[in-house]
Amino acid sequence: MDVKEAMNTARDYINTVFADEEIMQLGLEEVMYDPDAGQWRITFGFARPWDPQNTMAVKMGLKTPRTYKVVHLYDSDGQVVALTDRLLPDLKS
């Protein structure tokens, strides 16, 4: 499986799993391949309708309300084996 196939499989999975939540602004964030595990780890970020959009930090561009999910899939057959959170450290000034 090449990187484009892996990304498309992961994107389709995210869109299917979160279809009822009407996610917005889906974007590819990171792609990693682990040859020892034979797995792709593909991170997508997105917003949900209930994420706070009107806070001062968001308006100033200091914080973006996004959720980050990592789709883990086998390279050999494209089977999704896990969906995990990608937690980012808090950025403090």
pLDDT at 65: 74
SS3 56: helix
* Residue 13 phi, psi (nearest 5): -65, -45
Give the CA angle between residues 53, 58, 62 to the nearest 5°.
160
Give residue 55's pLDDT.
Answer: 61
Over the stretch 18-77, which tens digit does the pLDDT of each residue have?
A: 999 999 889 999 999 999 999 999 999 998 877 666 666 556 655 567 889 999 999 999
- Number of Cβ atoms within 10 Å of the Cβ of 68: 16
Confidence of residue 87 (pLDDT cuts 50, 70, 90): confident
pTM: 0.79
State in words which class domain 3-85 has.
alpha beta
